[in-house]
């Protein structure tokens, strides 16, 4: 267990670094998406022509672009960008971000040169990935492999925790100390 824990902890740290520094702030803060996501969540990427815009009576605006990307702007300020590869990013009005990457999209991004993205890091696993950023507490929560998969938490203090399906945990503290907690405690 110790050998795999060190490897998993190192992988978790690498992904945390990419998430913390490679994933943009909320679009209203002037950030932009990286890793092949296609724009800032608010419009078409360079050269991506708007094909259709539908304005609904509830205030929702739906845009479809030539690339196949869809953008939905909700009346409450939430934005959802859905890409043709099946991945999506939702920017909530409260600053939270949800980034869902199905296994097929992760593999696509890795092979299309998006090597700096967390999706590319996980793609060799052949699993889906969901990243959720809790803006109020500055914490990322990533789930690898869907329900029952490995959950990794990245705290602003620098602490990283990997929670395994069998209830084992690996905790890497900011000073680099690794603590492994088995399912038995």
- Give, as one character, the DSSP assignment of residue 45: P
Average pLDDT over the chain reads: 76
Task: Tell me which residue of 117, 91, 113, 110 sits closest to 34, measured CA to CA.
Answer: 117
Ordered by start, the domain boundaries in the chain are 2-46+92-181
Which of 68-77, 87-96, 117-126, 169-178 shows the lowest per-residue confidence on average (mean pLDDT)?
A: 117-126
Closest residue by Cα to residue 66 from 80, 40, 89, 84:
84
**Rounded CA gap, 181 and 164, in Å?**
10
Residue 43: the pLDDT is 53
Give backbone dihedrals phi and psi of 17, rounded to 5 degrees, phi first.
-60, -45
pLDDT at 55 over 60: yes
For residue 17 the two structure tokens come to: 């670094």
pLDDT band at 112 (very low <50, low <70, confident <90, very high): very low
Query: Tell me: the pLDDT tens digits for 143-158?
Result: 998 888 899 999 999 9
pLDDT > 90? residue 139: yes
Q: Give the span between the Cα atoms of 64 and 50, in whole angstroms.
A: 6
**What's the pLDDT at 174?**
96
């Amino acid at each position: 267990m110790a050998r795999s824990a060190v490897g998993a902890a190192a992988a978790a740290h690498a992904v945390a670094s990419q998430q913390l520094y490679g994933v943009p702030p909320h679009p209203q803060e002037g950030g932009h998406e990286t890793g092949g996501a296609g724009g800032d969540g608010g419009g078409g990427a360079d050269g991506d022509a708007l094909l259709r815009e539908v304005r609904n009576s509830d205030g929702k605006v739906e845009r479809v672009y030539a690339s196949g990307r869809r953008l939905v702007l909700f009346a409450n300020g939430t934005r959802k960008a859905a890409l043709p590869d099946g991945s999506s990013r939702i920017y909530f009005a409260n600053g939270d971000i949800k980034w869902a990457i199905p296994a097929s999209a992760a593999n696509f991004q890795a092979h299309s040169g998006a090597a700096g993205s967390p999706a590319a890091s996980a793609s060799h696993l052949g699993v889906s990935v969901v990243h959720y950023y809790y803006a109020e507490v500055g914490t990322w929560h990533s789930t690898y492999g869907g329900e029952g998969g490995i959950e990794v938490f990245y705290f602003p203090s620098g602490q990283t925790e990997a929670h395994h399906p069998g209830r084992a945990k690996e905790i890497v503290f900011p000073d680099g100390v690794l603590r492994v907690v088995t399912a038995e405690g």
